[in-house]
Structures are given as C-alpha cells and as structure tokens.
Amino acid sequence: MNDPGTRRSHRPRGAATLLLTALTATAVLAATTACAGPDRAERSGAEGRAAAGHPARVRPARTPADSGSLQGVWRMDGYGTLVTLSGRSLRTYETTGISCLPGSVTGTRAGAPGAHGSLRFTVPDSAPITVVPAGAGRARLTIEDNVGRRTLHRTDALPARCTRRTPRDPRTVFDIFWQTYAENYPFFRAKKIDWAAVRDRFRPQITAKTTEDELFAVFRKMIEPLHDAHTRVVVSKDKWFAGMRPGTVLPTPTSTARIDKAIAANLGPGVTRHQWANGMLSYADLPGRLGYFRVTSFAHYTKKGDYAGDLAALDRALDSVFTKARTQGPASLRGLIIDVRLNGGGADPLGLRIASRLTGRPYLAYRKRARNDPHDPARFTTPQPSRIHPHRGPVYTGPIAVLTGRLTVSAGETFTQALMGRSPAPLRIGENTQGVFSDVLGRALPNGWSFGLPNEEFLTADGRTFDGPGIPPAVRTPVFTDDELSARRDSALTRARELLADGAPEEHH
C-alpha cells in the first residue's frame, strides 16, 4: 500500500488497497466518529473542565437566542472532544488532559434549521453531520455514515490552551501521543500492556535533540506490541506504521489475483458472477439453488466515493440480488453463501443495510459503547443498540453460511457480528476475523504527524466483544493459504456448499 488513507474518506481504490487501508485506517471525522452516548450524569462548570484538563477558559460570543440555540461550545461524551458551532460553521478540537489541538473536522451548515431545531453540516470529503437539541444544555450529534449518536453537553468556554500554539518539540509530541492512548485506548488490560511502564521506558529517551526518525521508531515500538490493526502513526505518505494481528499476511495485487482465480475455480464452470458497485459486490447463482454473494468492501461503490452514492449503489445491487424469484416460491434459494474473507471495511451502516435483506423480523445487531473516562479504562458510555429492521420488499430468510478470515476487517467484522442475532443464525466457516471493530479515533500531533487508535466496543446481546482474537468460525478451514491457492482450492467455499446442500444446521451462540 502506498497511502495510509482513512477509514471513511479519501479512501484509496481497489480491493487490495482498501484492505490495507482498513488495517491502517483513521477517520477524518477524527474527534467525532469514535464517540458514543453517555453513561454518566452531565458534569458542568469547573468539574467538567477539570475532568478534561482545561483550567483556563475563553468565552465564546453569545447570540441573542443563545439559551435556546445550538450556537456555542459543546463537550462530547468521551475523548475530551470539543465541538464549536458559530454562525454557519462547525469545528472540532482534540483534547487530552495536557493538550488541545484543532481537529480535522470543519463543517458548513446546509440550509435552514430542520425539525426540532436540527442543523445539518456538510463536511469536505466526508459524510454530513447533524446536530439536534436534546434538552437543556444537551445535544446529539450524528454522522451519516456512522452507527449511533454522540451526546454533547454545553460548556460556557473554550479552554485557553485551544487558542494557544502548542510546542512542537519532541517531548511535547511524545507526551500528547502517550496521553491520548492513556485516556482513550480500552484494551491495555486485555493485551497485558502496562502503558505507564511504556512511558517510563521510552520518555527518558526523548530530548530536544531527538530526530524525526528516532521519534518515529519509539512510537512504533510503543504500539507494535498491541497487535491492533486500528493503531497507526503516520509521518508522511511514504513513512508510516500500522499494527496488525500476528500471522496476518497483507494482500498484494498478485495474491488478490490468485484468490480470485481460486474462488472462480470453486464456483465451477459455467457459473456467471454479476458485479455491481465498482466491482465491490458480486453474486452468482450456483447449482442446487444456492447463491454466492461476495462483499469485498463497505466503501468505494462509485467513482466519486461519497456515502450517499455508495448507499444508492448498494441498494441497486441488493435489488438485483434479492429478487422475488430468489426469495419466494419453488425456485427460491435453498441456501446463501456470503463471502467477506477479503473485506477491508468501510461504513458500518452499509452492513446493516445488507442484513435488512436477510431477515423477516427485527433483531439486535449489536450495542456500541465508547471509553468515557480518561482515568478509568473500565468506564464506558451507555451502550447504544443498533437494530436490524426487515427491508420493505423481498427478503431472504433461509440458511446462510458466512465465510470469514483474518482479512475480514473492521466494518467487515461488524457486519459479521450483525448477522449473529439472525434466525436461523448463519454458519460461520473459515478462520477468525481480524479482531478490530471500533471506529478509529484519528488525532493530529503538533509536529504535523497524525496517528490513530480504537476506543469503542461492539457488544453482543449478552455483552461479549471480539476485539483482539476476532469472531471465530464454527467450522474451521484454511483460508487463502499458499497451498490452497497453488492448488486452486477453496476449502471454505467447498465446505459451505456441502453443508448448505445438506441443509446446514443453525449455529447456536
């Protein structure tokens, strides 16, 4: 890969590149896409500022209707993120207990206020943001291509440090990097990492004379042991590092071509695979009234690459796949294979949209929560449920086999998790998914570098998460190994066809 990219905007094109993007991604909606709803009572005044580490204040200009408007400064639950609304503009600030830097999100209000006083903002190269009043001193912020909402609390001041220039010396840069992880990363205990010990080991090595290469090497050594594909540090287009789970072999154009040939060989002769959405979605009817639906990504469905275009392209593809003939009557499908083994992620709501074509009843997809205490990694926002509602049209409700592997990443994994509550439950075949579910909290450093980290959990109905090891299969087979590809075997696909032909049993959780 030659561009570290982002998860939800400026996304590079091509299946292999998109997979690498997901493994190194950070959201352009840096301060907003990785926060969820509250789990504590609203804090105000000095208490809220002290918790965010902001003792000084700069008061914003007030509008005549300030008491009932959205104008002003807002603190987002979790992450120390601040959002300012001034005139027709929205912008974010990325804060820790020791820093405040301008965020990458800037929005311009589109049109007049909507229902209930809502304001919609367009964001360059990203999905629109909507802010809605939610009672005295509260508001809700949603991003069109993101699951869930973020709760905002009005604060009467922008901290003074947000308007001052932050030093660019190596130690300040180190401190902000370490502090951001300390306040937001939820998985230190699960990964058996003592983050304070990491600081004690590396901070003495950082001086005013530390070079760029030396500082980059230190940051890499700090996050590499996390083995987390949603962690990264980027110096430039050609100089960056991203984590990954051990044993992950990243795809190349050559390996992707071998994978495509192996899949085609195992679909069989005379099978026609139809493609939509810039080649990211494909479907084939197989003998025995089986279907094969491959979802290579949840992004880049159109040349423009915007979320609205992706959504429209997805609906066109789903209308073509889930027809009345395939979902009802004597010629309907007896089984459906969904292949997400080479899925590098994208927008989670697109996965929920596919799931809506696969059920006749509503059910819980997952509950999403975010770390919400800079001092206690066990404190989270209140989990927000995301539910699957049946599509108003043909839906397929029969047996499903889902093919997964370690290159099932990010939104590919949240989609896999969203299907687990379906009835009958899909039979998962292949290998564990990559193990990264959170949106990526993207941050800037005062020296011009950027970095990213996860800070959310996606919970099952009984409160489990799969961060780290990933979602396991019920039937374990090799996935895209050299031996498999050399022989043009696809054991997972072959096994899925066998089990569906025999009437695959429902997987129990």
319-359 per-position pLDDT tens digit? 999 999 999 999 999 999 999 999 999 999 999 999 999 99
285/274 Cα distance (integer angstroms): 9
Query: How do residues 468-501 score in pLDDT, each as one tens digit?
Result: 999 999 999 999 999 999 999 999 999 999 999 9
Q: Which of 431, 455, 427, 428 is nearest to 441 (CA)?
A: 455
Q: Tell me, what's the pLDDT at 31?
A: 28
453, HSE (Cβ side, Cα atoms, 13 Å): 24
Rounded to whole angstroms, how far apart are CA atoms 7 and 33? 10
Residue 78 has a pLDDT of 80
pLDDT in tens, 205-239: 999 999 999 999 999 999 999 999 999 999 999 99
> Where does CATH 3.90.226.10 sit in the chain?
253-444+457-502
pLDDT score at 504: 61
Dihedral pair phi/psi, residue 371, rounded to 5°:
-60, 140
- Enter the tokens of residue 468: 């780290």
pLDDT at position 348, please? Answer: 98
Strands 427-430 and 440-444: unpaired
pLDDT of residue 171: 98
CATH class of 253-444+457-502: alpha beta
Q: What residues pair up with 148 in beta bridges, in sequence order?
A: none
Residue 99, H or E segment: strand 99-109
pLDDT of residue 125: 86
Q: Name the 3-class secondary structure at 401.
A: strand
Q: How many CB atoms lie within 10 A of CB 344?
A: 32
- Taking the alpha carbons of 160, 166, 167, 170 in that order, is the dihedral positive or negative? positive
HSE at residue 331, side-chain half, CA atoms within 13 A, is: 6
What are the residue ranges in the chain where pLDDT is below 70? 1-68, 504-509
> Shortest CA distance to 185 belongs to which of 79, 112, 301?
79
pTM score of the predicted model: 0.87
Cα 300 to Cα 160, 274, 346, 412: the distances in Å are 40, 17, 8, 14
Residue 260 in tokens: 């495509």
Q: Which long-range contacts (CB under 8 A, 24 or more apart) does 306-310 make?
A: 306/127, 307/8, 307/127, 307/144, 307/145, 307/347, 308/144, 310/145, 310/277, 310/346, 310/347, 310/350
CB-facing half-sphere around the CA of 408: CA atoms within 13 A: 34
What's the CATH code, domain 170-242? 3.30.750
Q: What is the CATH number of domain 67-155?
A: 2.40.128.490
Amino acid at 472: P
The residue ranges of DSSP E strands in 323-469, in sequence order, are: 335-339, 363-370, 384-388, 400-404, 427-430, 440-444, 450-454, 456-459
Q: CATH 3.30.750 residue ranges in the chain?
A: 170-242
H helix intervals, 277-410: 307-321, 324-327, 348-355
Q: Start-end ranges of CATH 2.40.128.490 in the chain?
A: 67-155
